[in-house]
Amino acid sequence: MMRNSLILIFLTFLLACDEEPSDISIEPGYDFFPVKMGQYRTYWVEEVNFGAFGGDTSRYFLSEVISDSLISGDGTVKYLVERSKSTDSITWKLDSIWTVHRFKDIMIVTENNVPYAKMAFPVIAGNRWDGNAFNAQPEKMYYYQAISQLTHLESTGASDFVQVIIEDIEENLVNQDERSETYAKGIGLVEKDYVTLQFCSANCGELGEIQSGRILKQNLVGYGPN
C-alpha cells in the first residue's frame, strides 16, 4: 500500500512539472539601438581621406537628430535622422538625412540611399548576419563581439556595450580594412572606428605607402533625451 502511495505522489509531481511554463527567454537587446522622436546624439569626428596628394584631415562635430517619421504601405515606421556638421558646435549645417527602421529582427539604417543591416536581434556575442542583405553590394558578414569594459567611454554613464565587427582584415602588403561600431545599452552608437586603406605594392615612390582610403574616428560627446 505504501509503495502504491509513493508511486502516485511521484506521478503527480511529474504532471505538475509538465504543466509549469518555461521561464527561459532571450533578451532581444533592442535598447542597444533605441529609436525615439526627438532623440539626438552628438559626436566628435576626426577623418582623414587619402588620395594622390596624401592625406586630407578634417575635424568636426556631427549631430544626429530623429526629427520625423514616415509610415510605409506595409505599416513599417521609418524614422528620419537629420545629420548636421559643425566646426564649433554652435553653427550647424545640414549634411544629409538618413532613415532608421526595424524590419523583423534586423535594424536597418539607410545611409545616402543605401540600406545596411546594422544590428541583428537578439544581441548575442558571436551572432553573425549579412550587413548587405538589403542592398546590391556583395555579402558582408557582420558579427557581435562582447566588450566588458571601455574606460574611455565611462563618461556616457553606460555599463553594457557591444561591438559590431564589420570587417577585420589587418594591415598587410596590399590593404587594411578594419571597421567596427560600438553600441551602448540605452544610448545607441557611441563609437565608430573605420580604417580602410589601399597600399602601393609596385611602381611606387615608397613600398607600402598609402594610395587611397580613409581613417574615421567618431566618438560620442553628448546625447538625449534618455
pLDDT tens sequence across 195-209 = 999 998 887 877 778
Cα–Cα distance measured from residue 137 to residue 7, given in angstroms and rounded to the nearest whole number:
64
| Mean pLDDT value across residues 5-24 | 43
Q: Is the pLDDT of residue 18 over 50?
A: no
Residue 63: CB partners within 8 Å, gap ≥ 6? 40, 41, 42, 43, 82, 83, 84, 85, 86, 92
| Mean pLDDT value across residues 175-190 | 95
* pLDDT value at residue 150: 65
What does each C-alpha distance from 78 to 75, 104, 107, 184 come to in angstroms? Answer: 9, 13, 11, 22
Q: Is the pLDDT of residue 190 over 80?
A: yes
Global pTM reads: 0.84
Look over the chain and give the mean of its residue pLDDT values, rounded to a whole number.
Answer: 87
Lowest mean pLDDT among 114-123, 126-135, 143-152: 143-152
Of 4 and 195, the one with more pLDDT: 195
Cell of 179: 571597421
Query: Is the CB of residue 218 less than 8 Å from the CB of residue 191?
Result: yes
CB burial string 31-63: b at 16+ within 10 A, e below: ebbbbeeebbbbbebebbebeeeeeeeeebbbb
Cα–Cα distance measured from residue 50 to residue 215, given in angstroms and rounded to the nearest whole number:
9
Of 133 and 76, the one with more pLDDT: 133
Q: Is the pLDDT of residue 20 over 80?
A: no
Cα–Cα distance measured from residue 148 to residue 34, given in angstroms and rounded to the nearest whole number:
21
- Tens digits of residue pLDDT in 39-71: 999 999 999 999 878 899 999 999 999 999 999
